Structure 1
Amino acid sequence: MPELPEVETTRRKIEPLLKGRVIERIEHDAPHKYRNTEAAHGKRIKALTRRGKYLLLQLASADAEGDVPHELELIVHLGMTGGFRLEQGKHTRVTLHTDDGVLHFDDSRRFGKWAVVDPGEYASMPTLAAMGPEPLEEAFTEAAFVKAAATCGAVKVWLLSQKPVSGVGNIYADESLWLARIHPAQTKLNPAEAGRLYHAIREVMQGAVNAGGSSLGNGVGNYRQHDGLSGLFQHQHHAYGRENQPCERCGTEIRKIVLGQRGTHFCPQCQKLRE
């Protein structure tokens, strides 16, 4: 957490607060985690976009007018527990001051990262630099996905690499594989399996975006938006977090295993491992 649906919801929620505003200063006490942020001081936020699980704030000179190219990008990765808040809290790590107000970045587990870079210069962020197509855009094609899946290793680990498709993390990999009836450890998907998974990913991700993402548990790291609202897609989970509960398709108990060092949920009846 958060994955693409949570990051996209975050982008949509904070865009009205930040787009067009001038960054006066960015305060934090961890320059190794929030790199080169002083370069953003005095810059205007032209746009807020997203790539996979990353937020990209496009910055230009404060006095720039019209559709001028952006000069810098402020990249924000929310990590496991990062999120924006209107009020400062005990887990606030970064405070963003603009000419219109203040927005705080909270991160209880401290895995979030910020960096100001030249546009497209992602060499220091290899995952972002090598990321696959967006699952809900035309660039994510069934033909290319089916071809790549024919030689993949364990399919869930492959999805989590972000190379075949961007933004699919632990939750939505489990949900997509359940919907496609594919075992998470299956390798070398045949065309029928890969086709089912392609459509399952698109369906799951669109549903999660529409629901504002998933909010899990009640702890300080529970995903929620700057206005305190939680996501609702957790009420539509069929696999993730449902260990020992009956599969909603066949009634078999959902199992949990560790795959690629990640907890993985699946139905042993509906998602059999093919020889």
Structure 2
Amino acid sequence: MTQLSGKTALVTGGTSGIGLATAQRLAAEGAHVFITGRTQDRVDAAVATIGDGATGVAGDITESADLDQLADAIRQRGRGLDVVFANAGGGEFATLDEETPEHLADTFNRNVGGTVFTVQKMLPLLNEGASVVLAGSTAASAGVPSFGAYAASKAAIRSLGRTWAAELVGRKIRVNTVVPGPVETPGLKGLAPDGEHQGLLDAQAATVPMGRIGQPDEIASAVLFLASDQSSFMTGAELFVDGGSRQV
């Protein structure tokens, strides 16, 4: 018997990196996994790598109509939701003097607004005992130059995780936040100009006590733990998977 046999899961931003690795892991553990991504081609490609245990719904988490379409697709399957991994988001470098209203609004709309309204739209579908996992970041607990807007948005996610855990405990729904350190993903590499990706990865690895950056599969294992009954006495918590970056 696999850990999520018969369960239904949702992974937003599930077409690459941590999201795709998590969707693959949840499906391997028996869950039927819904994934989202912004383009149909990338969604279809991701579903093909996951296999029969996946359904892809193209859409943008910042668009209410797209979230309604996603909720309708899950509702039509008729089994509700047991796991939500609110993973979609991102950010770009901008120092305080470079910050613009547009960049700040976009960052918070994606990382905070997208998460808030994803979870809100899924609330009627959540089964008793469901697990909601939010995507945090170690940037929220340290001063990372040029990453202020992103870090602040992830600090908001940490706060929301506490509040939602308190609000949903009566339905026996657990809400926890997984906090990755630097992980080798297209999103991280995309922060560096072409030809400088390895330099960015090496610089990030130098900040980690374990001397390396993480892999998406390692974060997926932590999400699986929070999604499964193995973490049944955890809610409102942060689980750091950061190679010791914020611990040592």
For Structure 1 versus Structure 2, the TM-score category normalised by the shorter chain is under 0.3
Structure with higher Rg: it is 1
Alignment TM-score, normalising by the size of structure 2: 0.27
Structure in which a larger fraction of residues adopt strand: 1
Structure in which a larger fraction of residues adopt helix: 2
Q: Which has the higher contact order (CA 8 A, sep 6+)?
A: 2
